[in-house]
């Protein structure tokens, strides 16, 4: 089965992301039915030609893929459990952020009701949807991905990672973990720079350039981790411990909490104490298991 711009789609959830998805589908001319728990969020979508359904049951009526973009795992069940029997034979694409085990649970729940389930992790903020740079990672039903790929690519670059419904979510959270550590480091740096009168906005400009340069080393770090050989370091654990200790002193002197730096400091201290100081920084990966 291939799709056309006449494929009807249903969007369940009109938060910031659901609204971005629905308006992108409407801009592409797809017949789009939307539902939201709280009324009043569909006015501009209706003006753009979407149909607003008062109930979930009516929202899934037109056929076509059902896209859930709700707050969390519990809200997916709260929304879909009452209509599970009406969804037999349908395709469900869950773009809600659910933990891997929750995605797998939803896949099993869907299978028990004869629903074809595809899970997705959105690597974009709402303003990026439909624009270059947005990506959505998928896993679960290959059939759903293959038959709906055309409309999914209206939203973002679409990549499929196999039938484990929890895989896309794992990738999503691995990327988010990377992002949050970077954001936390930026907040710490901004606090340090404010202590010497530099605005966070000015620091943000310089930090963006620095982080961009530093991220170029990530593929190399990944290769070192995969070999498990940390004996030929670019810079050693002892070197990094010295740097982190200095950051800690600088932060203390500036009256800034070291909460963002403390976890890494703990990991480096432990490795030096265990005799690994001469090995590469990437060995810190081994402390996480
Ligand atoms: N926004 C973003 O930048 C990120 C990007 C990456 C992916 N996330 C995930 O996408 C899901 C939805 O995010 P969102 O930005 O649309 O979230 P909200 O604006 O907070 O809207 C939440 C919607 O969920 C509805 N909802 C909440 N609880 C329930 C429930 N128990 N039953 C039914 N619906 C529920 C809520 O409805 P209402 O409060 O308006 O009545 C909104 O429609 C999310 O998983 C992100 O992690 C977005």
- CATH number where 146 lies: 3.40.50.720
Q: Is residue 134 part of a domain?
A: yes
- Regarding whether 151 and 200 lie in a shared domain, the answer is no
- 6 pLDDT tier (thresholds 50, 70, 90): confident
- Regarding whether 267 and 149 lie in a shared domain, the answer is no
Give the pLDDT mean for 159-188: 98
Three-class SS of residue 271?
A: helix
Question: How large is the C-alpha radius of gyration of the chain?
Answer: 23
Q: Whose CA is nearest to atom 42 of ligand 1?
A: 15
pLDDT over 50 (residue 2): no
Report pLDDT digits (tens) over 218-242. Answer: 999 999 999 999 999 999 999 999 9
Q: Is residue 283 part of a domain?
A: yes
**What ligand 1 atom has the least distance to the C-alpha of 125?**
3
- Regarding whether 246 and 204 lie in a shared domain, the answer is yes
Give the pLDDT mean for 152-167: 98
Q: Is residue 249 part of a domain?
A: yes
Three-class SS of residue 39?
A: coil
pLDDT over 80 (residue 203): yes
Q: Is the CB of 70 under 6 A from ligand 1?
A: yes
Residue with tokens 């303003």: 127
Report pLDDT digits (tens) over 33-82. Answer: 999 999 999 999 999 999 999 999 999 998 899 999 999 999 999 999 99
Residue 164 burial class via C-beta count within 10 angstroms: exposed 0-12, middle 13-18, buried 19 and up: middle
Q: Whose CA is nearest to atom 6 of ligand 1?
A: 122
114 vs 110: CA distance, rounded Å: 6
Residue with tokens 């090995």: 279
Separation of first and last alpha carbons in the chain: 44
- 1 pLDDT tier (thresholds 50, 70, 90): very low
Q: Is the CB of 158 under 6 A from ligand 1?
A: no
Report pLDDT digits (tens) over 253-285. Answer: 999 999 999 999 999 999 999 999 999 999 999
155 vs 135: CA distance, rounded Å: 8
100: nearest Cα among 135, 68, 137: 137
Q: Is the CB of 97 under 6 A from ligand 1?
A: yes
Report pLDDT digits (tens) over 238-258. Answer: 999 999 999 999 999 999 999
Q: Is residue 42 part of a domain?
A: yes
CB–CB of 279/287 below 8 Å? no
- 4 pLDDT tier (thresholds 50, 70, 90): low
Three-class SS of residue 274?
A: coil
179 vs 202: CA distance, rounded Å: 20
Give the pLDDT mean for 178-207: 98
Range of the domain at 136: 3-163
CB–CB of 66/93 below 8 Å? yes
pLDDT averaged over every residue in the chain:
96
CB–CB of 122/95 below 8 Å? yes
**What ligand 1 atom has the least distance to the C-alpha of 96?**
45
Residue with tokens 């670059």: 157
96: nearest Cα among 40, 10, 18: 18
Cα separation values, 147 from 67, 123, 143, Å: 14, 21, 6
Q: Is the CB of 15 under 6 A from ligand 1?
A: yes
pLDDT for 62: 83
Within 10 angstroms of residue 145's Cβ, the number of other Cβ atoms is 22
CB–CB of 256/240 below 8 Å? no
Q: Is the CB of 37 under 6 A from ligand 1?
A: yes
CB–CB of 24/50 below 8 Å? no
Q: Is residue 189 part of a domain?
A: no
Distance of CA 79 to the CA centre of its chain: 22
- Regarding whether 278 and 139 lie in a shared domain, the answer is no
Q: Is residue 26 part of a domain?
A: yes
- Write down which residue in 163, 181, 205 finishes a domain: 163
Q: Is residue 178 part of a domain?
A: no
């Amino acid at each position: 089965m291939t799709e056309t711009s006449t494929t009807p789609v249903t969007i369940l959830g009109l938060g910031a992301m659901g609204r971005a998805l629905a308006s992108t589908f409407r801009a592409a001319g797809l017949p789009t039915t939307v539902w939201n728990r709280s009324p009043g969020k569909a006015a501009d979508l209706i003006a753009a030609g979407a149909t607003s359904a008062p109930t979930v049951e009516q929202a899934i009526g037109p056929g076509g893929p059902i896209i859930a973009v709700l707050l969390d795992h519990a809200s997916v069940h709260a929304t879909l459990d009452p209509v599970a029997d009406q969804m037999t034979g349908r395709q469900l694409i869950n773009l809600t952020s659910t933990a891997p085990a929750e995605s797998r649970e939803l896949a099993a729940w869907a299978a028990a009701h004869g629903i074809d389930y595809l899970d997705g992790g959105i690597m974009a903020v709402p303003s990026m949807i439909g624009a270059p740079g947005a990506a959505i990672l998928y896993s679960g039903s290959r059939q759903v991905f293959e038959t709906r790929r055309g409309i999914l690519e209206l939203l973002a670059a679409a990549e499929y990672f196999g039938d484990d419904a929890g895989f896309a979510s794992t990738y999503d959270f691995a990327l988010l973990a990377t992002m949050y550590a970077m954001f936390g480091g930026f907040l710490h740096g901004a606090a340090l720079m404010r202590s010497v009168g530099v605005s966070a906005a000015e620091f943000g400009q310089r930090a963006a350039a620095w982080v961009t340069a530093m991220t170029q080393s990530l593929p190399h770090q990944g290769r070192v981790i995969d070999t498990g050989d940390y004996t030929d370091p670019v810079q050693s654990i002892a070197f990094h411990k010295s740097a982190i200790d200095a950051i800690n002193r600088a932060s203390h002197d500036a009256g800034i909490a070291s909460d963002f730096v403390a976890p890494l400091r703990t990991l480096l201290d432990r490795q030096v104490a265990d005799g690994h100081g001469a090995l590469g920084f990437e060995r810190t990966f081994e402390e996480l298991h």
